[in-house]
Amino acid sequence: MNEKTLLSLAYGAAFTGGERAVAFSDLESMTPQFREGDDWLRKNAGREGFGWMDLPRRNVDEVQTLARWLATRESIVQVGIGGSALGNLMLHNALLPPYWNELPKVKRNAPRFFMSDNVDPVDNRAIWELLDPQSTAVIVVSKSGSTAETAANFLFFWEKLRDTLGEAAARERVIVVTDKEKGILRPFVDETGCKSLILPEDVGGRFSVLSCVGLLSAWALGIDCKALLSGAGAMSDLLARNGSILENPAWIMAGLSWLHLRKNRNVNVLMPYSDALERFGEWFAQLWGESTGKDGQGSTPVRALGSIDQHSQLQLYSSGPDDKLYTILTVKQGQKDIALPAAPEKAFEKLSWLYGKSMDELRNHEAFATAVTLAKMSRPVLTLTLPVLDAWRLGGLIQFYEYVTAMTGYLMKVNPFDQPGVEQGKNYAYGLMGRAGYEAQAQEVQTLSGRIGERVVHV
C-alpha cells in the first residue's frame, strides 16, 4: 500500500462456508461476463440511469460558484430524502470534524448544516428554532418536486422564510435543485426567480452524490470536492482495465456478492470500523437495496458499525444463520490518534497491556479479530482497507461501490437503475393524501388494507 493506493481488498476468507462454500474457480471463470458487463455500462453512457459513470469529469463551475455564496451563510438547511439526503450526510460525516454544528464559528469557518428529510413536525420545528432566518439558506432537492416528504418539508420552510422576511428576501435565500424542464419546482424557479441548479437527467437519485446534489453543500462547508471528483475519476480509470477478474477489486466484490447470493446468502453486511464512515453504511444501504431488490431477487443490506456492533451483533453473525456475506471496512491510518496513558492507580494494573498503545491500533485489531472470528466459523468475509480517509479516497470508494452495485445488478439480470417498488409506495401515499389522478391507487389501498387490519389487539 503506497501513497497512490485508493483502497485494498482482501478476499481470501470469502471462500469459506463448508458445503455451501464458493469455489475460487467459479470466481476466476467470470472474467468474460465482467468484460461484457463493463461494455454494457460504457456503451450506454448518456442513457437514463447511466450518467453516474462520467460525473467525475463533468463541469461543476456553476456548483462551485453557488457554493461560494452558500459559504457566507450562518446556516444551511437541505430539504430532500433518500438520494437527495443520504449522500450529503455521508460526505459531511466522513470529511468534516465530528459534532460540526456544535463547534464555535471560529473553528468551523463555514455554515452549520441541517437536513430536513423525514417528514417529522417535531424535527422541522426544532431546526427552524435554531436558525437565524436572515443568515440562512434553504436548498430543496427533488427531480419531480412532488415527492411527498420533500414537498411537505419545503412548504414548511418556504412559508417560514416568506412570513418572516417577506417574499423578495425569502427567494434570495432559496436554491432549487431540480430537473431542467419537468416537475413542479422548475415553474417555481421561473415564478420566483430564486437560484437554481439542474439535476442531471441521466443520473438516478441514489447515484447522484457526486453531482450538484451532494457537491453543493459539501463545497460550501469546506470539503475539497475537486479531490473528491479526482479520486472518483481515478477509480473509474482503474476499473476500466479489462484484464482478468483477479486484477479488478470491483469485479471480485460483485462476483462474490452474486455467487454467495446463489448460495442463499441473501444478506449483505457492511461493517466500517470508523465513526466517520457510519453514514457511508447508510448511503450504501439505499444504493444496494434499491438497485438489487428486483424480480424476487436481491440481498438485504445491513449496516453495522465497528466496534459498537461487534458487541451487539457479532454473536448473531458468527453463530446465527449462515445467510450473510460480510465486508469489514477499515482505515489504516486515522487522524489525531490518541495514545493510551499509563494510569498510576493500582486498580488499573491489570490494564497495563493497553498502556502506550493507541485507539486506532486497538480499533484496527478489533476489526481484524472480527474478520478472523467470522472466518473461523466458516462465514464468508471480505476486508476493504483505505490507507487514510480523505476526499480523494472517499471519491474513489463512492465510485467503487456504485460500480460494484451496477455490475451486481447486471449479473442478476435486473435493472439496477430503477425502483418500481418505491414508486408504488409513493403512488399509494399520493392517493391517500387526495392527489388528483391517483384515485385508483387510493381505492386499491382501501381494498388491500383489510388484510393489514383483519386482526388487531389493543392492550
List the catalytic residues.
290, 311, 426
CA distance 359 to 364: 9
Q: If you write DSSP's letter for every residue of 216-251 in order, what string do you get?
A: HHHHHTT--HHHHHHHHHHHHHHHT--S-GGG-HHH
Name the H helices within 377-438.
391-412, 420-432
Task: Specify whether the CB–CB gap between 383 and 330 falls below 8 A.
Answer: yes
Kindly state the helix (H) or strand (E) to which residue 87 belongs, with its residue range: helix 86-95
Residues in Cβ contact with 113 at an 8 Å cutoff, skipping those fewer than 6 apart? 75, 76, 78, 88, 92, 100, 101, 217, 221
Map residue 274 onto helix, strand or coil.
Answer: coil
11, amino acid identity: Y
CA distance 327 to 307: 14
For the chain, the 3-state helix, strand and coil shares in percent, each to the nearest 5, are 55, 10, 35
CA distance 14 to 10: 9
Task: Specify whether the CB–CB gap between 58 and 167 falls below 8 A.
Answer: no
